[in-house]
Amino acid sequence: MHLNFGRTVRQKVQSKEKKSLISLFTAISIVVANMVGTGVFTSLGFQVLGITSGFSLLLIWFVGGIFALCGALSYAELGAALPRSGGEFNYLSRIFHPSVGFVSGWVSSTVGFAAPIALAAMALGDYFTRVFPDLDKTVIAVVVVVMISLVHMQNVKFGSYFQNIFTVLKVLLILFLIIAGFTVGENQGLSFAPSAADLDSVLSMPFAVSLVYVMYAYSGWNASTYIAAEVKDPGKNLPRSLFIGTAVVMVLYVLLNFVFLYTTPISAMAGQVDVGYVASYSIFGEGGGRIMGMLISLALISSISSMIWAGPRVTQVIGEDIPFFKTMARTNKAGIPTLAILVQMAIALLLATTSSFDAVIKYTIYTLILSSFTTVLGVFVFRIRHPQVQRPYKTWGYPITPIIFLAISLWMLIYVAIDDVWQAVGGFATIISGLVVYFITRPFSPHRPISQEDKF
């Protein structure tokens, strides 16, 4: 196995750790903001096209939450033991091989963050134009992505304040929607009690495909691992941020979707991207719905912000480890990887202006599931190959917890490939393109064997 974590790179990482500015609260905020975004305000509209059982629909969100928690608990062990920014790129490079890490980093750099940014910006444009129909939703999406990218090119402290403020506002908005749904909303008569027919529903193709949309809504549970080197005391705070952030979002998601289903006719939500607006209209009426639509669009700023913050850190670490991409590791005086932010912004803008919402989700989710599947599998491999490594945190429930994650991931990968083979082909094409780039650039990026000073 070869790696190129040289002395210069280690010194840079150590220097960043000494200057850590991200508290546990901000790390949790990044996880929550990354998760609570486009998915929860859009996914239900696609799910009700194939499933109409209230019990089955809520079960999807509960299973999705268990899946995300199992993933977060597994990633927490790797993040605490290997507290460097970069997420899967860092873990897979050190556990398996640099080529595996590079492919995961390639996925993150090209679509892993840029595509969700584009999706959140597109959804924001949809919600905002519901309130201001004379505006162009694509222009709104472009302006938001550019402006937030500029915010995060300033300094980490300013970005932290910006992130925390909008995340708190988002959580308060969701809590308000949940409370209003229970107190003001009218019951639409949908039953949430399980029935014999629900078993067939749970084992059906629509349930598995709907779970993919829910997985997209829950994606981001691993967000703080991408900025691990900027977190204070990552050995303790990184696992805490992953678990607390994911658990909070799971509770919010189940309650919010219950409110959507309780207060809004399924026929009104079917096929709609802006489910949050449709539900708000049902709860508050036209005037209140327009106000909530605007607030939801503003809440999506938090999601876009967190991804714009985390994504470039992967590209930056790739540039630190692989000389061919060293320009991507360049930072400004505040230590911000500005070029990486600009490249991510360009990809996000391309997707937001040329693709449909559903197409971007289908292209993105398959590669992300494959990447997280390999990383959680790495928990087992890492324990076997490097038992001597100090682990400040060990996965709770091991080995059952990661096995649950791997089983659900494999189930989704198989069902998605059966439902839409081109989605799987697109995912594998992205992976193959990453391997091609790796082997083309490898002569310019020599790796040296691990020495004693490089050991974890």
Query: CA 228, CA 235: separation in Å to the nearest integer?
Result: 9
Query: CA 212, CA 6: separation in Å to the nearest integer?
Result: 39
**Per-residue model confidence (pLDDT) at position 400:** 95
Query: CA 419, CA 206: separation in Å to the nearest integer?
Result: 9
**Per-residue model confidence (pLDDT) at position 250:** 93
pTM over 0.85: no
Q: In sequence order, which residues have a C-beta less than 8 Å from that of residue 70 and are 6 or more positions away?
A: 376, 397, 401, 402, 404, 405, 408
Please return the burial class of 159, using the count of CB atoms within 10 Å of its CB with bins 0-12, 13-18 and 19+: buried
- pLDDT by residue for the chain (456 residues), tens digit each? 333 433 343 444 444 444 556 788 888 888 888 787 767 777 788 888 888 888 888 998 999 999 999 999 999 999 888 887 778 888 888 888 888 888 888 887 777 788 888 888 888 888 788 778 888 888 998 999 999 998 888 776 776 777 778 778 878 888 888 898 888 888 888 888 887 777 777 777 778 777 877 887 888 888 888 887 778 888 888 889 999 999 999 999 999 999 989 988 888 888 777 787 788 888 888 777 777 777 777 778 877 887 888 788 888 888 887 777 888 878 888 778 888 889 889 988 988 887 666 666 666 777 788 888 999 999 999 999 888 888 888 999 999 999 999 998 888 788 777 777 776 777 778 888 888 888 887 765 544 433 333 444
**Per-residue model confidence (pLDDT) at position 363:** 64
Q: Which fold has domain 20-444?
A: Amino acid/polyamine transporter I (1.20.1740)
- Residue 306 identity: S
Is the N-terminal amide bond of 399 cis, ω within 30° of 0? yes
Find the distance separating the first CA and the last CA of the chain, reported in whole Å.
14
DSSP calls for 247-302: HHHHHHHHHHHHHHHHHS-HHHHTT-S-HHHHHHHHHHHHHHHHHHHHHHHHHHHH
**Per-residue model confidence (pLDDT) at position 18:** 43
**Per-residue model confidence (pLDDT) at position 404:** 94
Is residue 68 within 8 A of residue 245, CB to CB? The reply is no
- The β-bridge relationship of strands 448-449 and 2-3 is antiparallel
Query: CA 84, CA 14: separation in Å to the nearest integer?
Result: 9
**Per-residue model confidence (pLDDT) at position 309:** 81
Q: Using the Cα atoms of residue 296, residue 299, residue 301 and residue 305 in order, give the sign of their dihedral.
A: negative
**Per-residue model confidence (pLDDT) at position 361:** 66
**Per-residue model confidence (pLDDT) at position 13:** 43
Query: CA 367, CA 369: separation in Å to the nearest integer?
Result: 6
Q: In sequence order, which residues have a C-beta less than 8 Å from that of residue 360 and are 6 or more positions away?
A: 115, 118, 119, 122, 351
Q: How far is CA 99 from CA 246, 321, 435, in A?
A: 30, 12, 7
**Per-residue model confidence (pLDDT) at position 323:** 77
